[in-house]
Structure 1
Amino acid sequence: MSRSGPVVGLVGCAAGGVETACESFVRPARARGWGVAVTLTPTAGSWLAGSDELATLQDAAGLPVRVHPRAPGERSPHPPLDCCVVAPASANSVAKLALGIGDNQALTMLCELLGNPAIPLVVFPRVNAAHTRHPAWPGHLAVLRAAGVRLIEGPGVWDLHEPGQAPSNRPLPWDTILAATEYALDGRP
C-alpha cells in the first residue's frame, strides 16, 4: 500500500454492525484516498472468521487484519497511523479503554494512542439504554472526553433502546463516523 494519503486505523469490536465495516467504512475511506489498517478485538475476529468477511476486509484494506498480538521483535504489519477510529465500540471495550485495560491487541493499541494529540481518536459506542444506566458509564465517557477522544453519540446519531428493542437491521451511523474521521484528519474539533 502506498503512503500517499493519511492512514486511518479502524478498530472493530464485538458489537452488531462490525460485519458492515468493509462496505460502510473501509471502501469509502479508501475511495477518499485514505489507507485503512484494521484491527479487531478477539471476539470480533472470531465472528468475522466464520464468514468471508475477514478476507474481504483484508483485501479491501490491502493490509493484514490484526487480531492477535505480534511476537516480541516482530514488526507491525501496519504503517503509522494518522487517526484511529473505534467503530463499533462495545460497552466493554469503552470501559476497558477508559480504565487503561489493554488485555488484547486492539485495546493495547488504543491505550497507547489515548491522549496522544498527534493521533486523533474517534469512538462510536454501539450501546443500548441499559449500558448507559450503569453508574460507571458517565465516568468512562468523561475520561475519554478529557483525553481528547471524539465521541460519536447522542439522539439523532444513535438513539438508545432497551436491550432487544431496537429496530432490526438498524444501520450504524457510518456517514457520521466517516465525517468525524475527516474532521479529525483535517485537525478540526
Structure 2
Amino acid sequence: MTTRGLLGLVASGCGGVETWFRTGLAEPAVQRGWQLAIMLTPAVVPWFEEADELDALQALSDFPIRWEPRMPSQPKPHPMPDAFVFAPASSNSVAKLALGIGDNQALSALNEAIGVESCKVVVMPQANADKRRHPMWETHVTTLTGAGVAVVTDVAPGRLLDLLDT
C-alpha cells in the first residue's frame, strides 16, 4: 500500500470518543494509507485507558501516542504531519485553538500546524447547543476558518478523511 503521508490524529474529551475514535477514524485512516501520529488532550487519556483502547491505538502507529510535553533535551518524536484531523474537538479546545493557546501537547502541535501553509487541518467540534450559543463561539469558528482550518459539523468520523482530499 502506498503511504499518503503522516496524519496527525487528535482527540479531546467529548462523550463517546473512546468508543469510536479507533474504529471510526484511526483504522480507516490506516486503511487509506496514512501513517499516524496520534495526540490526545490530557483530559481524554483516562477515558481511553478505562476503555482499554490505548494499546489498540498504539498498534496503529509507529510513533508513541502523545499527551505529555517533551523535555527540551528530547527530540520531536515524529516529523510535522502532512495533515491533521481533530475529532472530536471540545468547545474548550476550539476556543483555545482559535486563541492560539497551546497549553497541552495536542494543541501546541495543532497551533504549529495552522501556521504551516501546506498542512491541511480539519476540526470537528463536538459541542452542545448551549455551548454553541456562547457569544464567542462563532468568533472562534470564524477565526479558525479564516486561518484555513476546515471546521465541520454533522460529519461521520470516517468521512472526515475525505476532506483531506479536497
Common fold, TM-score beyond 0.5? yes
Query: Which residue number in structure 1 is paired with residue 151 of structure 2?
Result: 151
SS in 1 for 2:127: coil
Distance 1:30 1:44, change over 3 A: same
Query: Which residue number in structure 2 is paired with residue 76 of structure 1?
Result: 76
- Check if 1:142 corresponds to 2:125: no
Q: How many angstroms apart in 1 are the aligned matches of 2:55 and 2:104?
A: 21
Query: Which residue number in structure 2 is paired with residue 114 of structure 1?
Result: 114
8 Å contact kept, 2:122–2:149: yes
Query: How many residues are aligned here?
Result: 165
Give structure 1 stretches of 5+ with no counterpart: 159-172
> Cα offset for 1:122?
0.3
- Matched to 1:179, the amino acid is D
Q: How many angstroms apart in 2 are the aligned matches of 1:124 and 1:152?
A: 5
1:13-92 equivalences under 5 Å are 13-19=12-18, 20-92=20-92
8 Å contact kept, 2:40–2:106: yes
TM-score (ref. length: structure 1): 0.82
> Cα offset for 1:49?
2.0
- Matched to 2:36, the amino acid is V
SS in 1 for 2:39: strand
> Cα offset for 1:5?
3.0
2:162 counterpart (171, 176, 179): 179
CA RMSD of aligned residues (A): 1.7
Q: How many angstroms apart in 2 are the aligned matches of 1:42 and 1:113?
A: 19
Q: How many angstroms apart in 2 are the aligned matches of 1:11 and 1:113?
A: 12
- Matched to 2:140, the amino acid is H
Name the larger-Rg structure: 1
Q: How many angstroms apart in 2 are the aligned matches of 1:71 and 1:85?
A: 25
After TM superposition, the runs of 4+ consecutive aligned structure 1 residues lying more than 4 A away are: none
